[in-house]
């Protein structure tokens, strides 16, 4: 085909769709290629999208979007061997509009988002994998897909955490275990009434629960649960490095044991698993971000490493949406100037730097290093669990006074180590 | 010369799951039946080197307009669609009436191709019914087609014989599953498909009497079979039980 | 391993975990013409392959009696974990052909 596009987008996840939507809205000719049967067919998330930071970038989008439930109740449970401690949080800002975050299912959301981008005029072709970039004189001029040569002024790589496209361009090296986690999850179907009763939810409300401690056997990571309309997303995020180095448990075994924990089992009781999915997650933070642009190429979303793992919550979706949007803005400016060189496209990096995206990454710069400390995932939950047991347990004999109980846990060495960890946490 | 290929929109069967013993159709992507794709591929092969024009004909709900792009990308030249959301559950006789009415609006049709059965219900009636309504000859179970002038030479592959038949055109031909490998369209072809001509009619435009539905579906689950649940611990015991059931050693 | 066995069972609240094969069987998989992951020739005995046994969420890598890693592709979730753990030197890892492989209904 002699037709040349303004932009070709590789991958129809959130980053790619945000780009396609924004470019089409501004009248550019855009082609998006997605290898799945539909957008979302290959995409996995835990399930919580923070809408607040990206609401204004896509003002028309949210009213009809297929979001599941707005998150009104938060819980973090620290699980030790045989006991657990749960912190529960409900605040006004969670329960009032505009809601801060929602649970979502990607196969539903992405497919719908793709339709919106098509309505704006984007050409979206599914079931088509991009096999290679066309590079002429060091500049990207198009892609090869299923035997077709397709040309464009700019290619935007939005191909997810394992971005073979940016590896191909040489602006990213193959991912390292220390910078990645693996996430796996089950969709467990339950009657909406049961979900609402079990989690104490009012109409439309949803719950988010995080689990840390024994569930990962001390590995960096944790378990998560989000309520959807008619199902629960239950899964885990675990450091690949820890799993492969410890070699004491396999990923599927961790998941089975997680489901068997009484704290979890009672929440999913009677549910039917309907799907099992998994995906790698970039979690190297600011230091592991890859180069964001080259001549004729931009990289957005997970493909650029734009996901953060701050302890047990992963954030990547808002960054994917926002980076897709800013990549589109840079392309629009490049098109106006008819200049698609790296130096012109570097506007993208500037826009990202000024946005919440890179600010967040800088704020959490230390997170991966600090949290890569088994004490957080192993020792503290055990420690706190034991302490609470001693506080709450009424033994057959007399109960110790509270102060000596506490003191037992606050031995000097313990305190010192804790202080050290605390200091590091303050940097996050 | 126009070759018409009748194609039906169906749910992607691999995406249907069963929940509480009922199929779940929510969010199941739509596609075109595999045998219909064989019929289209046969038409594309016939067209090669001729000036024939392939028209894909379909009746169904509004989604068909989107689904039919698959056929336009895979070689059909234009689409003729009769769309109404009530047609989603229409039965074979009603669909045949509509398709025949659509065909009557076309000129110079020499060949009307069907798949031998649709990908979902597989009632296998629509081709024959259309032939009857249009008073045209019909050949079923066809595996090869050759056109010479106004005669088509076709092979019917039956269970234990192959029949070679000549039929005068125009005629209705239903092809068997798997007679060819339908091509997978390239990106360029998919992009071009969106620009191919489409004629979209509503039910009112074809002025027909659909008649009331006459078929009621009670169940489409596999019949439940009672198992005897006999547990054996050794081969000897197995032989004994099978003999007792009169299944061996007669 | 054998971690599951270490836990107390029998609580009526616990539903037995679904076997991994059965769990994968719930997903939609579309057949591909070719295998999208291969152990590279000459690396069949590479020690790095053991890592995949622990990290693969679909349990597609296993140790056989000779201590060698065996791999089957059926049920691959295309998550990429094995490539990150073992490295592209050991595994030839591509995405499957467009329209094939796993298709999530929920995601
Ligand atoms: C278990 C888990 C839990 C998570 N929890 C959360 C959470 O609660 N909140 C949050 O914000 N984030 C979470 N994340 C992270 C979040 O899901 C990702 O950051 C986000 O999906 C990234 O979006 P993306 O568009 O960059 O990439 P993706 O969604 O991965 O999209 C990439 C797309 O590119 C396509 N593609 C790839 N290669 C090609 C090719 N060659 N040709 C054509 N198409 C191609 C893929 O099919 C896919 O559609 C979680 C992730 C996981 C795995
Ligand atoms: S891609 Fe994921 S599911 Fe597939 S083999 Fe590798 S680790 Fe296992």
* Statement: residue B27 has pLDDT above 50: yes
- For the segment B57-66, the average pLDDT, to the nearest whole number, is 96
Quickly list H helices, chain B.
Answer: 34-47, 64-67, 69-73, 92-104, 126-134, 187-193, 235-244
- State whether B15 and C26 contact (CB < 8 Å): no
Closest CA to ligand 2's atom 8? C56
For residue B186, give the chain C residue with the closest CA: C98
Tell me the best of C39, C49, C82, C95 to mutate to test the pocket of ligand 2, counting ligand atoms within 8 Å of each CB and taking the most.
C82
Tell me the best of A46, A147, A232 to mutate to test the pocket of ligand 1, counting ligand atoms within 8 Å of each CB and taking the most.
A46
- State whether C105 and B14 contact (CB < 8 Å): no
Give contacts of B72 with chain A, Cβ < 8 Å.
none
Residue A130 beta carbon below 6 angstroms from any ligand 1 atom: yes
- State whether C14 and A265 contact (CB < 8 Å): yes
Residue C56 beta carbon below 6 angstroms from any ligand 2 atom: yes
Residue A111 beta carbon below 6 angstroms from any ligand 1 atom: no
Atom index in ligand 2 nearest the CA of residue C37 equals 5
- State whether B187 and A125 contact (CB < 8 Å): yes
What's residue C6's pLDDT? 31
**Closest-CA distance of chain C to residue A366, Å:** 22
Tell me the best of C57, C59, C71, C100 to mutate to test the pocket of ligand 2, counting ligand atoms within 8 Å of each CB and taking the most.
C57
- CA–CA separation, A306 and A302 (whole Å): 5
A47 touches chain C (CB under 8 A): no
Nearest-CB residue to B29 (from A1, A38, A128): A38
What's residue C9's pLDDT? 37
pLDDT band at C5; cut points 50, 70, 90: very low
Give me the helix-helix angle, A347-354 and A317-337, nearest 10°: 140
What's residue A274's pLDDT? 96
Express each pLDDT in A201-213 by its tens digit: 998 999 999 998 8
What's residue C1's pLDDT? 35
The candidate with the shortest Cα–Cα distance to C14, out of A268, A80, A211, is: A268
Cα B24 to the chain's mean position, in Å?
A: 22
Give contacts of B17 with chain C, Cβ < 8 Å.
26, 105
* Statement: residue B136 has pLDDT above 70: yes
Chains in touch with A (≥3 Cβ pairs < 8 A): B, C
- For the segment B75-103, the average pLDDT, to the nearest whole number, is 93
> Would you call B149 helix, strand, or coil by DSSP?
coil
Closest CA to ligand 1's atom 37? A159
**Closest-CA distance of chain B to residue A3, Å:** 9
- State whether C54 and A262 contact (CB < 8 Å): no
- State whether A148 and B187 contact (CB < 8 Å): yes
Tell me the best of A298, A317, A319, A324 to mutate to test the pocket of ligand 1, counting ligand atoms within 8 Å of each CB and taking the most.
A317
A191 touches chain B (CB under 8 A): no
- State whether A280 and C9 contact (CB < 8 Å): no
Residue C102 beta carbon below 6 angstroms from any ligand 2 atom: no
- For the segment B3-32, the average pLDDT, to the nearest whole number, is 93
Closest CA to ligand 1's atom 14? A45
Residue A385 beta carbon below 6 angstroms from any ligand 1 atom: no
Convert chain A into a string of H (helix), E (strand) and C (coil): CCCEEEEEEECCCHHHHHHHHHHHHCCCCEEEECCCCCCCCCCCCCCEEECHHHHHHCCCCCCCCCCCCEEEEEEEEEECCCCEEEEEECCHHHHCCCCCEEECCHHHHHHHHHHHHHHCCCEEECCCCEEEEEEECCEEEEEEECCEEEEEEEEEECCCCCCHHHHHHCCCCCCCHHHEEEEEEEEEECCHHHHHHHHCCCCCEEEEEEEEEHHHCCCCEEEEEEECCCEEEEEEEEEHHHHHHHCCCCHHHHHHHHHHCHHHHHHHCCCEEEEEEEEEEECCCHHHCCCCEECCEEECHHHHCCCEEECCEEECHHHHHHHHHHHHHHHHHHHHHCCCCHHHHCHHHHHHHHCHHHHHHHHCCCHHHHHCCHHHHHHHHHHHHHHHHHHHCCCCCCCCCHHHHHHHHCCHHHHHHHHHHHHHHHHC
What's residue A137's pLDDT? 95
Nearest-CB residue to C83 (from A162, A231, A275): A162
pLDDT band at B119; cut points 50, 70, 90: confident
A37 touches chain B (CB under 8 A): yes
What's residue C7's pLDDT? 34
- State whether A146 and B17 contact (CB < 8 Å): no
What's residue A218's pLDDT? 86
- State whether A148 and B194 contact (CB < 8 Å): no
> Would you call B215 helix, strand, or coil by DSSP?
coil
What's residue A87's pLDDT? 83
Supply angle C-alpha A43, A44, A50, rounded to 5: 105
In the CATH scheme, what is the homologous superfamily, with its name and number, of domain B2-219? HUPs (3.40.50.620)
Q: Ligand 2 centroid vs C75 CA: distance in angstroms?
A: 8
For residue A122, give the chain B residue with the closest CA: B191
- For the segment B40-52, the average pLDDT, to the nearest whole number, is 95
What's residue A371's pLDDT? 61
A314 touches chain C (CB under 8 A): no
pLDDT, one tens digit for every residue, chain A (428 residues): 568 999 999 999 999 999 999 999 999 999 999 999 999 999 999 989 999 999 999 999 999 999 999 999 999 888 887 778 888 887 777 888 889 999 999 999 999 999 999 999 999 999 999 999 999 999 999 999 999 999 999 999 999 999 999 999 999 999 999 999 999 999 999 999 999 999 999 989 999 999 988 899 989 899 999 999 999 999 999 999 999 999 999 999 999 999 999 999 999 999 999 999 999 999 988 888 989 999 999 999 999 999 998 766 799 999 999 999 999 999 999 999 999 999 999 999 999 999 999 998 988 776 666 666 666 666 666 766 676 666 666 666 566 666 666 666 656 666 666 666 656 655 55
Residue C60 beta carbon below 6 angstroms from any ligand 2 atom: yes
Q: What does the block give as tokens for A256?
A: 């089975």
Chains in touch with C (≥3 Cβ pairs < 8 A): A, B
pLDDT band at C14; cut points 50, 70, 90: very low
For residue C31, give the chain B residue with the closest CA: B14
- State whether A257 and C106 contact (CB < 8 Å): no
* Statement: residue B104 has pLDDT above 90: yes
- For the segment B91-120, the average pLDDT, to the nearest whole number, is 94
Q: For chain C, positions 23-82, list CB contacts with chain A under 8 A.
A: 23-24, 26-27, 30, 50-51, 53-59, 77-81
Which ligand places an atom closest to the C-alpha of A223? 1
- State whether C107 and A106 contact (CB < 8 Å): yes
**Closest-CA distance of chain A to residue C42, Å:** 21
* Statement: residue B183 has pLDDT above 80: yes
Q: Could you tell me which residues are beta bridge partners of residue B144?
A: B155
Closest CA to ligand 1's atom 50? A45
What's residue C12's pLDDT? 40
CB A179 within 8 A of CB A282: yes
- State whether B27 and C28 contact (CB < 8 Å): no
Please indicate whether residue B230 or residue C84 has the higher confidence score (pLDDT): C84
Residue C78 beta carbon below 6 angstroms from any ligand 2 atom: yes
Give contacts of B24 with chain A, Cβ < 8 Å.
none
Closest CA to ligand 1's atom 51? A45
């Amino acid at each position: 085909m002699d037709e040349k596009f303004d932009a070709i987008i590789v991958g129809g996840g959130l980053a790619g769709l945000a780009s396609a939507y924004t470019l089409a809205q501004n009248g550019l000719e855009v082609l998006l290629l997605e290898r799945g049967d539909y957008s979302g067919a290959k995409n996995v998330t835990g399930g919580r999208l923070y809408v607040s930071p990206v609401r204004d970038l896509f003002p028309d989008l949210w009213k009809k979007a297929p979001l599941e439930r707005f998150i009104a109740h938060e819980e973090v449970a620290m699980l030790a061997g045989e006991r657990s401690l749960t912190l529960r949080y409900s605040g006004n800002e969670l329960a009032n509009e505009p809601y801060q975050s929602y649970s979502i299912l990607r196969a539903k959301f992405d497919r719908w988002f793709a339709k919106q981008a098509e309505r704006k005029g984007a050409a979206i072709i599914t079931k088509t994998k991009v096999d290679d970039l066309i590079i002429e004189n060091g500049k990207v001029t198009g892609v090869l897909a299923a035997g077709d040569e397709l040309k464009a002024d700019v290619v935007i790589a939005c191909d997810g955490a394992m971005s073979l496209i940016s590896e191909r361009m040489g602006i990213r090296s193959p991912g390292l275990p220390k910078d990645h986690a693996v996430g796996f999850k089950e969709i467990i179907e339950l009657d909406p009434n049961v979900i609402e009763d079990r989690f104490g939810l009012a109409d439309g409300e949803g719950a988010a629960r995080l689990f840390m401690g024994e569930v990962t056997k001390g590995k960096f990571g944790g378990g998560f649960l989000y309520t959807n309309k008619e199902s629960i997303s239950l899964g885990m995020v675990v450091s690949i490095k820890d799993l492969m180095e410890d070699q004491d448990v396999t990923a599927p075994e961790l998941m089975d044991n997680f489901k068997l924990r009484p704290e979890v089992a009672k929440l999913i009781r009677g549910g039917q698993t309907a799907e099992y999915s998994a995906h790698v997650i970039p979690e190297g933070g600011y230091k592991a971000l890859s180069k964001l642009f080259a001549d004729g190429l931009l990289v957005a979303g997970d493909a650029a490493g734009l996901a953060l793992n701050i302890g047990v919550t992963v954030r990547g979706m808002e960054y994917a949406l926002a980076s897709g949007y800013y990549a589109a803005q840079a392309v629009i400016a490049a098109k106006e100037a008819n200049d698609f060189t790296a130096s012109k496209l570097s506007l993208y990096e500037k826009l990202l730097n000024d946005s919440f995206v890179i600010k967040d990454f800088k704020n959490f710069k230390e997170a991966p290093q600090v949290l890569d400390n088994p004490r957080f995932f192993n020792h503290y939950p055990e420690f706190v669990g034991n302490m609470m047991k001693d506080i709450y347990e009424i033994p057959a004999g007399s109960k110790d006074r509270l102060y000596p109980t506490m003191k037992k846990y606050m031995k000097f060495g313990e305190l010192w180590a804790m202080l050290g960890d605390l200091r590091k946490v303050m940097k996050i | 010369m126009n070759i018409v290929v009748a194609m039906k929109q169906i749910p992607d069967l691999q995406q249907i799951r069963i929940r509480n013993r009922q199929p779940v159709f929510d969010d199941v992507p739509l596609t075109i039946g595999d045998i219909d794709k064989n019929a289209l591929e046969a038409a594309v092969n016939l067209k090669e080197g001729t000036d024939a024009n392939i028209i894909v004909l379909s009746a169904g709900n509004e989604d068909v307009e989107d689904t039919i792009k698959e056929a336009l990308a895979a070689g059909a030249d234009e689409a003729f669609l009769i769309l109404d959301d009530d047609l989603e559950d229409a039965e074979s006789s009603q669909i045949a009436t509509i398709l025949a009415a659509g065909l009557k609006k076309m000129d110079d049709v020499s060949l009307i191709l069907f798949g031998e059965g649709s990908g979902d219900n597989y009632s296998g009636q629509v081709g024959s019914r259309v032939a009857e309504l249009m008073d045209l000859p019909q050949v079923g179970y066809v595996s090869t087609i050759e056109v010479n002038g106004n005669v088509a030479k076709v092979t019917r592959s039956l269970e234990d014989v192959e029949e070679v038949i000549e039929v005068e055109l125009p005629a209705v031909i239903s092809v068997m599953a798997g007679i060819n490998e339908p091509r997978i369209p390239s990106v360029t072809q998919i992009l071009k498909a969106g620009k191919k001509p489409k004629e979209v009619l509503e039910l009112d435009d074809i002025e027909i009497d659909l008649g009331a539905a006459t078929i009621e579906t009670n169940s489409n689950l596999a019949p439940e079979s009672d198992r005897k649940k006999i547990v054996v611990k050794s081969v000897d015991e197995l032989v004994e039980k099978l003999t007792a059931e009169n299944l061996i050693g007669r | 391993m054998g971690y599951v066995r270490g836990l107390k069972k029998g609580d009526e609240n616990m539903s037995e975990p679904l076997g991994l094969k059965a769990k994968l069987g719930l997903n939609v998989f579309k057949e591909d013409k070719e295998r999208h992951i291969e152990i590279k020739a000459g690396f069949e005995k590479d020690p790095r392959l053991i890592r995949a046994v622990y990290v693969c969420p679909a349990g597609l890598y296993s140790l056989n009696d000779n201590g060698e890693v065996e791999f089957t592709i059926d049920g691959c979730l295309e998550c990429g974990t094995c490539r990150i753990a073992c490295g592209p030197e050991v595994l030839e890892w591509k995405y499957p052909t467009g329209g094939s492989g796993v298709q999530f209904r929920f995601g």
